Amino acid sequence: MKSYTIAGLALSFLPFLTVNGQSSYDPPTNQGFEQAIQTLQMQPIRWYCFGTGAGSTITNLTQLAALFNPYGVAAQTVIHQEWERYQPFNAQNFVFTPNSLNLTATIPAGGGLFNGGINSSQIWSKETFKPGLNGKQVYGFLARAKIPNGQGSWPGIWWYSPNGQDGDGSEIDTLEFGIMKWQNQYDWSGFNHGPGVGSDIYSIKSNPWTWHPGIDFSADYHNYEMIWTPDATYKYFDSQLVYAQHFTWTARGAAQFGANLAVGSDQADLPGLQPTSLGQFPESLSIQYITIWAK
């Protein structure tokens, strides 16, 4: 580590070193998320705490709209053969409780269990991020959330270029659950996509697609965490490292992070991802807080 003194201030610079495909920004795989954050000497830079209760920082739709957009890749257009239409900010689909923001899927008048027949919601950060942007080389991310378990639910918290602009398919899924034929609320998944996807670094996944620890993820709130370095992503659940993979963000634009509740799809490779009962609605992806660290 090199140290310099300018006007009486000691400044330290950690060089970017690469050994066996890993850089000096990559955390040890034998550490949990909190320990890795400390090892990398990362500092919190953003904290979004949702709810109407004391201590929350985003308590209403006006405050939410100042930091987030209600649309990402698609506005109210049905895409990817999905069944939901995402809605502008409103009190039915963006529901504040004392300690959470619930991204809620509902059945509108004239709607139903068919393509485009469900109203749902999403949030996308107006701020963008990527390693190397504004001098930040590594990020830590934590979302405390509770997923739904209704048939056909498809909640996600992920990173993508704003509205798909300047994109090349680069995508990071921190949290993704599909309640369908071959997996459900017991199966964590979190994929990377795009030209920058590389080989695995570490994995405790039960198969190439999911991690099945025997936990009903929908039963309570959990921490879904990630460390994003210039050359890899490290994904954690309640501080336990689940999956790490070589990955480079190759899109021209930086990434927004978003959270959404998709519901239903007619895609052939997603069998059973369709709701079967009106009784499961309304249902929600519930988020208590999101914290971002950087170095």
H-type alpha helices, the chain: 33-39, 61-67
CATH architecture designation of domain 27-294: Sandwich (2.60)
Q: What is the pLDDT of residue 167?
A: 79
Provide the pLDDT for residue 74.
59
Q: What pLDDT score does 79 carry? A: 66
Residue ranges per structural domain of the chain? 27-294
pLDDT of the residue at 17: 35
pLDDT tens for 116-168 read 999 999 999 999 999 999 999 999 999 999 999 999 999 999 999 886 677 79
pLDDT-derived band of residue 279, with 50, 70 and 90 as boundaries? Answer: very high
pLDDT at residue number 26: 96
**CA distances for 157 relative to 13, 146, 212, 222, angstroms:** 32, 11, 19, 13
d(Cα 108, Cα 92) in Å, to the nearest integer?
A: 10
Phi and psi (nearest 5°) for 14? -90, 115
pLDDT at 8 over 80: no
The least confident of 34-38, 126-130, 165-169, 175-179 is: 165-169
